Structure 1
Amino acid sequence: MNPKFEAKFKEDGFSEKTLIQEKTYELLAKGQNVLGLAPTGSGKTLAYLWPLLEKAMPNDGTQILVIAPSQELAAQITEVARPWAKLLDLNVLSLIGGANVKRQIEKLKKRPEIVIGTPGRLLNLIDMKKLKLHLVDAIVIDEADELLGQSESLKDVREIVSHTKADSQLAFFSATDAPILSELHRWFGVDVTRIDVRSQDQTHGKVTHFMLETPTRKRTEMLRRLGNMDGFYGLVFFKQTSTLRDVAEKLTHMKVPVALLSSEKRQIDRQGALRRLKKKEIRFVLTTDVAARGLDIPNLPAVVNYDLPKDTNTYIHRVGRTGRMGAEGVVVNLGNEHGLRQFKQLMKETTYQIESGVLFAGSLIKEADRQNYIEEAELENKPKAKPKKKAQPKPEATKKDEKVAQKKRKKRKRNQKNKGMRRKKSKE
């Protein structure tokens, strides 16, 4: 690693590279085409940034292009890349929808060495002849299963790549596999070295997965109860933005602070929502799968599936927002009896251990442990018996005391004898 990178690596508290960083570093540094598959939160972004940034030259125009599926992910990659690029006097520019295009055009005139963007805005600027990619040496397709798995976005990515040099290096990274990732030669005309460390990677922290059986009409109330738990905040996933908006309105009425993260929101509002969650100013960010794909929120304690995922890949990406880089986390899956039964069938294909959970005394616990909690609570609330007073030993009687006691006994006997004689005379 570059000495400047090495120094920052240690300053940031890292002691060694993650498995995906270690396995792909040399390959990317040597210019090979790579497909990197690693779990969520395992450091994939830095895995491709380090070796590619080291090869870039200041003031030589745009040499590295990173394509991401969402505005949030592109903005996040930009945030990660800038401090490392700055060490080598390289400039990073984010080109995403929702931002001011005129301002982006002005910044392109400064010929940034690294461009990070979403397909729509990149193509827009290419068509306007404002973004020139003829000097690009390396192209990264992040969240490749998402970007290439749909015909329209695959077409957009191939169109962007066609504007770069024929021998540009290609790097594909993803947390989940997809059929398209086995056909990269067919679509891009290059041989790709596949590095898959998903089964060996140990960076993921302990995450407990719960199922909370909840009727559909009571799911919002369950969110309110979760939001009132100490230290509980996180991302809540929905299938439809209409449901998302309805639940946001109800939670706001219930005095639960939330924000929305959807494609309908302005970019500044979306970034503000994530910033407020990181600062713990709100309890939940309500979002959809597209908007939250690849997001990195350090030490995020919880993910809630308001709507259960449609497939295992969706579940992997959702729950990957918590438990990142060794941190602990909780995943809560809400559903009625029928929905949870189907969900359990779906999860049989995975290695996740899904526990039935309940809310008990303001805490989320395993249903199997509820009786133990009840017994412990009863013991704590049971009134404690007052300790018995120890009998005090009688003091030893003195001779004087003994004489007084004898006189009292004699007097008592005389009185009893006199009473008996008086009763006898009265009878006669």
Structure 2
Amino acid sequence: MLEQYQAHFRALGYTEPTAIQAAVYGPMTSDQNVLGLAPTGSGKTVAFTLPALATLLPGDGTQLLVLEPSQELAIQTSRVMRDWAKLLNLKVAALTGGANVKRQTERLKKRPEVVVGTPGRLLNLIQDRKLKVHLISMIIVDEADDLLTGDTLETVRAVAQAAPADVQLGFFSATDTAILSDLGKWFGQEVTRIDVRQEDHTQGDVRHVLLQVGMGKRDQMLKRLLAVPNFRALVFFKQTNTLKHTATKFYHDHVSATSLTSDLRQVQREKALQDFRQGRTRLLLTTDVAARGLDIPKLPAVINYDLPSTINEYVHRAGRTGRMGEPGQVISLGDDHDLRDLKKLLRETDYDLVSVYFSGRQLTTERPSATPAVRAEVRPATQAARTVATRPAHDSLTPTVTASPAQAPATHQETPTPKKSKKHKNRHNKNKGMRKKWRDRDAQHDRERS
């Protein structure tokens, strides 16, 4: 390792490289193509940054391309690489989709040695002859399990084919997929596989819990979880429509939450992420695409609002918490059927899933329940209240006594029934009295005439 690196390592408080950092440094500095597999949060960005920068020449134009799956991850990676590149007088530029192309073109005129970007934007700039690739000596494909799928695979291959034939390739991922075993077939070069997932111990103590909540009550549960002291969480959704519905509801209810989706402008996405990282908002509502690979230091929790459908999805979501030795927890919400399916999905993994309940402003493994004695006392009181509420006002003065047939006469004598007062006169009797009055009046008139 270069002397500049060693000094900066000590300045950052690191005592030794992580397993992936130590494993790939030698092969990458000796021009080998590598596939680095390591858990999330194990320092993969620094792992490819140090050997890649060590091979570059300052002032010699763009020599290194780093491909990332999202704008957020490209900006995050460029910041990490820029921190190390300044030690070697190297410049780093971030070129992502959704940003102003003219401004990015101006950055390229400064001839940065390192360009970090999303595959689509980099390919467009290459095809428009704005990004020169004739000096490219290395291409890094980060989050390779994600980038090498679907249409993105062809975009990544097109970028690699535009570079010189002897370009060095580096692939990094936290999870293994089928295509990572056929990299030689897809890119025409032999790739050395370096897997340290079993050797790495950088992840902190992460608790994986199941919280049974119906779909209609999950928003309310998120609000209740905010009552937990110092609680912050990255909340994962499957559908953007569901995310937006929850975000709108939280906005009107003044809940400390913000959203991070792929359809937002870059400035909005950067602000949402910055507000969450700095603690100005406590919930960040996002999707798997937007939050892929994000590094949020000391994140207490990850919440699966919608449960993942694959093991890799769960691994990457869970990897946002418990990074670099910090504790964390993964909270999965769902009904009984959903949680049962999640257990089946993760049956072959090492995750220990524990059912929890929300009680007393905390998550506990003890099921809250009422004792039978309390239920027996509450029920008669409720019935008595209903009896009093439905009984007429004049009856409320006399208690109702229920007696056996043998005791009924005695009870009747001891408790005479009072006369019932009438609120309204009987209309028939009233009319009867009026008719008698009219007859008497007619009879008097007859007597006076006679």
Are residues 1:280 and 2:285 paired?
no
Are residues 1:231 and 2:230 paired?
yes
**Displacement after TM superposition at 1:39 (Å):** 0.2
User: For the residues of structure 2 that align with 1:11 and 1:60, how far apart are their CA atoms?
Assistant: 29
Which residue of structure 2 lines up, in the alignment, with residue 187 of structure 1? 186
User: For the residues of structure 1 that align with 2:365 and 2:18, how far apart are their CA atoms?
Assistant: 32
Are residues 1:250 and 2:249 paired?
yes
Which residue of structure 2 lines up, in the alignment, with residue 407 of structure 1? none
**Displacement after TM superposition at 1:254 (Å):** 2.7
Deviations 1:167-194 (A, max 9, x none): 1110000000000000000000111110
**Displacement after TM superposition at 1:228 (Å):** 2.4
User: For the residues of structure 1 that align with 2:4 and 2:23, how far apart are their CA atoms?
Assistant: 21
User: For the residues of structure 2 that align with 1:85 and 1:358, how far apart are their CA atoms?
Assistant: 48
Which residue of structure 1 lines up, in the alignment, with residue 448 of structure 2? none
**Displacement after TM superposition at 1:35 (Å):** 0.2
Are residues 1:204 and 2:203 paired?
yes
Which residue of structure 2 lines up, in the alignment, with residue 362 of structure 1? 361
User: For the residues of structure 1 that align with 2:198 and 2:269, how far apart are their CA atoms?
Assistant: 34
Which secondary structure does the structure 1 equivalent of 2:162 belong to? coil
Are residues 1:134 and 2:114 paired?
no
1:24 touches 1:195 (CA, 8 Å); kept in 2? yes
Which secondary structure does the structure 2 equivalent of 1:204 belong to? coil
User: For the residues of structure 2 that align with 1:254 and 1:304, how far apart are their CA atoms?
Assistant: 20
Which residue of structure 2 lines up, in the alignment, with residue 316 of structure 1? 315
User: For the residues of structure 1 that align with 2:296 and 2:204, how far apart are their CA atoms?
Assistant: 14
Which residue of structure 1 lines up, in the alignment, with residue 14 of structure 2? 14
**Displacement after TM superposition at 1:278 (Å):** 1.1
Which residue of structure 1 lines up, in the alignment, with residue 35 of structure 2? 35
TM-score by length of 1: 0.85
**Displacement after TM superposition at 1:359 (Å):** 1.0
Alignment of 1:10-409 (within 5 A): 10-150=10-150, 152-367=151-366
Which residue of structure 2 lines up, in the alignment, with residue 404 of structure 1? none
1:40 touches 1:324 (CA, 8 Å); kept in 2? yes
Which residue of structure 1 lines up, in the alignment, with residue 439 of structure 2? none
- TM superposition outliers: structure 1 runs of 4+ over 3 Å: none
Deviations 1:60-98 (A, max 9, x none): 011111001111111110010001001100000000012
Deviations 1:266-304 (A, max 9, x none): 111111111111111111110000100000001111100
Deviations 1:312-354 (A, max 9, x none): 0000000100000000001110001111111111110211011
TM-score by length of 2: 0.81
Deviations 1:343-377 (A, max 9, x none): 11111021101110111110112237x69xx9xxx
User: For the residues of structure 2 that align with 1:251 and 1:319, how far apart are their CA atoms?
Assistant: 24
**Displacement after TM superposition at 1:253 (Å):** 2.6
Aligned residues: 370
What amino acid sits opposite 2:364 in the alignment?
I
Question: Any unmatched runs of 5+ in structure 1?
Answer: 375-428
What amino acid sits opposite 2:120 in the alignment?
G
Which secondary structure does the structure 2 equivalent of 1:208 belong to? strand
Question: Any unmatched runs of 5+ in structure 2?
Answer: 372-450
Deviations 1:111-147 (A, max 9, x none): 1000000011111111211001110111000000000
What amino acid sits opposite 1:307 in the alignment?
D
What amino acid sits opposite 1:24 in the alignment?
V
Deviations 1:36-69 (A, max 9, x none): 0000000000001001101101110111110011
User: For the residues of structure 2 that align with 1:346 and 1:296, how far apart are their CA atoms?
Assistant: 26
User: For the residues of structure 2 that align with 1:349 and 1:165, how far apart are their CA atoms?
Assistant: 43
| Percent of aligned pairs sharing the same letter | 53
1:62 touches 1:112 (CA, 8 Å); kept in 2? yes
Which secondary structure does the structure 1 equivalent of 2:235 belong to? strand
Which residue of structure 2 lines up, in the alignment, with residue 409 of structure 1? none
User: For the residues of structure 2 that align with 1:90 and 1:166, how far apart are their CA atoms?
Assistant: 24
What amino acid sits opposite 2:3 in the alignment?
P
1:356 touches 1:367 (CA, 8 Å); kept in 2? no
Which residue of structure 2 lines up, in the alignment, with residue 425 of structure 1? none
Q: Note the aligned Cα RMSD (angstroms).
A: 1.2
